[in-house]
Amino acid sequence: MLEPSNNNELPPIPGKRYFTIGEVSELCQVKPHVLRYWEQEFPQLKPVKRRGNRRYYQRQDVVMIRQIRSLLYEQGYTIGGARLQLADADTDAAKLSKEAVRDLLMELEEIKLILDS
């Protein structure tokens, strides 16, 4: 198993749509029971559940798990601290998204004015 400080040495994420819990466990070097626990602690982590409550993780879930792993194992955050960091990142992304949309609307209005004249 990799040392916690070696998150950059994790295997690359294959170009698949869905991953089983076993595959995610290998990709992130985290045991399956830890992944199930993190699902309860981090609201951002919601794998698709299908027949028999089997979990199927998507690529963004694997990336999120790697972020959580980095916060907990490399940066030394507690579960609560990591949860706050991810929530802050979500609000920062939302602010950036709103600003990007506002800028895009302004650019489109300028283009419309140019086309109208």
pLDDT in tens, 8-46: 688 899 998 999 999 999 999 999 999 999 999 999 899
Two tokens, residue 92 = 């920062």
Summarize the confidence of residues 54-76 as an average pLDDT.
Answer: 94
- Domain residue ranges of the chain, discontinuous segments joined by +: 7-91
Summarize the confidence of residues 67-83 as an average pLDDT.
Answer: 93
Contact 56, 19 (CB under 8 A): yes
> Residue 47: is its pLDDT beyond 60?
yes
Give me the pLDDT at residue 94, please: 65
Nearest CA-CA partner of 24 in 6, 51, 41, 47: 47
7-91: CATH topology is Multidrug-efflux Transporter Regulator; Chain: A; Domain 2 (1.10.1660)
* pTM for this model (two decimals): 0.69
Cα pseudo-dihedral 38, 43, 45, 46, rounded to 10: 120
